[in-house]
Amino acid sequence: MSESRSATVESAADTAEDLAESQPVRVLGRLGLVAYGAVNLVIASLAAQVAFGDAERADKTGALATVAETAAGRVALWVAVVGLAALTLWTLAEVVFGHRGLPTGRRVLRSAIDLAEAGLFAALAVSAAKIAAGGSSQGSVLTTVLGWPGGQWLVGAAGVGVAVLAGFAVWRGVRGGFRRDLDLSRCGPRLGRLGVLAGHVGWVALGLAYLTAGVLTVRTAVRYDPAQPVGLDAGVKTLGAQPYGPALLLVLAAGLAVFGLYCLFDARCRKR
């Protein structure tokens, strides 16, 4: 009986792995990478607008809401939802089935990183679905959490966690750790060189952007005032109002744009 149950569980696991690693899921996952790159390009555009005094929202929700302003944009968002959901599944498959040949410590670290990325893609997919369906982009998760007992501590801890992830992103960009996900034989030498360069620059820029987000999140937790707007978009506007804020926002916007282009390259050249 025990052997039969073990065989059933093993068969189910094999089926799940085959599904997660199937060609349709991988194709849709690449579509998700394209969507993720496009979102970062829109965020870069909005951050640049804030630097020049525009009051647009310069976070992921604001970027999605901007895309949804037209009928074609809402259709594109639904396509992005499907791709991001597949990308989430693809990334989770790496958590469960990947990194098998690595030492335990490195496998745990890589799996934790993949899990964090899967959470990001899933959250983005949910936000895109909500906005594409006509939901409001107003309001903030931070506002909700800050209203909980001990909410300021939770938000502050989340900000510290984001800063830690930011450090990893910078490290990945400097060390070129992203290259292990790529199959450069799938693209020409020139495209490969440009894509790897974009990866180095883009991952470092993404890390600096997340570091900024982490600092702003901690700042929101420490200085929370129910009468004042909260959220990363409000924090970005506050940053832009500082003496060197506009210049910093322009640098971050340029870096996020490079990372967005790298995501497109990743979609083209990621390992099968």
Question: Which pLDDT band, with edges at 50, 70 and 90, does 12 fall under?
Answer: very low
102 and 213 share one domain:
no
Q: Model confidence over 89-143: pLDDT tens digits?
A: 888 887 777 777 778 877 887 788 888 888 888 888 888 888 888 765 444 566 7
Of 136, 151, 180, the last residue of a domain is 136
Of 136, 159, 177, the last residue of a domain is 136
- Expressed as residue numbers, the domain containing 78 is 1-136
Inform me whether the pLDDT recorded for 269 exceeds 80: yes
Inform me whether the pLDDT recorded for 2 exceeds 90: no
Q: Are 37 and 60 in contact (CB under 8 A)?
A: no
Q: What is the DSSP secondary structure assignment for residue 270, as one 8-state letter?
A: B
Question: Which pLDDT band, with edges at 50, 70 and 90, does 198 fall under?
Answer: very high
Of 136, 155, 183, the last residue of a domain is 136
Residues 64 and 129: their CA atoms lie apart, in Å, by 10
> Cβ contacts of residue 250 below 8 Å, gap of 6+?
47, 48, 51
What percent helix, strand, coil does the chain show, rounded to 5? 80, 0, 20
State the CB neighbour count (10 A cutoff) for residue 252: 24
185 and 80 share one domain:
no
Q: Which of 48-62, 167-181, 185-199 has the lowest mean pLDDT?
A: 48-62
Q: Are 182 and 271 in contact (CB under 8 A)?
A: yes
Question: Which pLDDT band, with edges at 50, 70 and 90, does 152 fall under?
Answer: confident
| Structural domains in the chain (count) | 2
Work out the mean pLDDT of the chain and round it to a whole number: 80
More confident residue, 204 or 56: 204
DSSP conformation letters of 199-260: HHHHHHHHHHHHHHHHHHHHHHHHT--TTS--SHHHHHHHHHTSTTHHHHHHHHHHHHHHHH
Taking the complete model, does pTM exceed 0.85, yes or no?
no
